[in-house]
Amino acid sequence: AQKVTQAQTEISVVEKEDVTLDCVYETRDTTYYLFWYKQPPSGELVFLIRRNSFDEQNEISGRYSWNFQKSTSSFNFTITASQVVDSAVYFCALSEYGNYQLIWGAGTKLIIKP
Amino acid sequence: DTAVSQTPKYLVTQMGNDKSIKCEQNLGHDTMYWYKQDSKKFLKIMFSYNNKELIINETVPNRFSPKSPDKAHLNLHINSLELGDSAVYFCASSPPGTANTEAFFGQGTRLTVV
């Protein structure tokens, strides 16, 4: 069965702190894809990253970084030196090879206080 | 310039009415989706079309009917609206070639049934 768990419902930090959002997934496939999306207060869903199961290299994009560990079935997202504009709901999602359907986590609401 | 556009952005209507939400993408994508996001932010796929062919049809009431007149459009028609249909509906599209590519979302349509 496919499942994505984002155990942190809400995280609140002060600006400039680093914050990590956890994502744990379950799948029986050996080939799968993991995603992160951001939903700011304005409501749109913004694609952040896509990772396939054969690529365990960590990814860094500016202040954002992602740590993919197959051994623990996790795909965690870290924001370094957080800013108020990072406040949003962040979703982790999974799709198995050849499957158009995304399985979504419940989302983590991130609040960055000035 | 909007890549995936939905209309209307807000829709308030009475129970029992029939309404449609329109979606258009100008990205040249082959696959389009409808998602429902409930009040707890949980995202669930409803339908997906690939090259105008229905490929995902999740368990939704048959009051919901998607229509894809061409690859760039996927409209959602809802008959006999109920209070429980109140949610945000997102249209999305993904690039051609294979499944498992990232999806690009519209701004969402907030439907309120009173």
Place of tokens 């249909």: B85
Rounded to the nearest 5 degrees, what angle is found at the Cα of A96, between the Cα atoms of A51 and B36?
95
- Does the pLDDT value for residue B98 go beyond 70? no
State residue A53's pLDDT score.
Answer: 93
> Which pLDDT tens digit goes with each residue over A53-102?
998 888 899 999 999 999 999 999 999 999 999 999 999 999 988 887 88
Sign, CA dihedral A107-A108-A109-A111, equals negative
Average pLDDT, chain A: 95
Domain coverage including residue B23: 4-113
B50 close contact with A: CB closer than 8 A? yes
State residue A98's pLDDT score.
Answer: 81
Q: Which of A35, A91, A97 sits opposite B102 (nearest CB)?
A: A35
Specify the DSSP element, H or E, that contains A12: strand A10-14
Domain of residue B83, CATH code = 2.60.40.10
A83 close contact with B: CB closer than 8 A? no
A97 close contact with B: CB closer than 8 A? yes
Q: How many CA atoms lie within 13 A of B61 on its CB side?
A: 11
| Chain B neighbors of A52, CB-CB under 8 A | 100
pLDDT above 90: percentage of residues in chain A: 88
Domain range summary for chain A, segments of one domain joined by +: 3-113
- Does the pLDDT value for residue B90 go beyond 70? yes
- Tokens standing for residue B3: 């890549």
Judge contact between B32 and B49, C-beta under 8 A. yes
B108 DSSP assignment: -
- Does the pLDDT value for residue B2 go beyond 80? no
State residue B43's pLDDT score.
Answer: 93
| Chain B neighbors of A89, CB-CB under 8 A | 41
**For residues B85-99, average pLDDT:** 88
How far from A39 is each of B33, B41, B49, CA to CA, in Å? Answer: 17, 10, 24
What's the structural domain count of chain B?
1
For residue A49, which of A29, A11, A75, A80 has the smallest C-alpha distance?
A75
Chain B interface disruption, residue of A100, A104, A110, most B CBs within 10 A: A100
B97 pLDDT tier (thresholds 50, 70, 90): low
Distance (Å, rounded) from C-alpha B52 to C-alpha B56? Answer: 12
For domain A3-113, the CATH architecture is Sandwich (2.60)
**For residues A29-49, average pLDDT:** 94
Selected residue with higher pLDDT from B100 and B1? B100
> Which pLDDT tens digit goes with each residue over B37-58?
999 999 999 999 888 888 888 8
B5 close contact with A: CB closer than 8 A? no
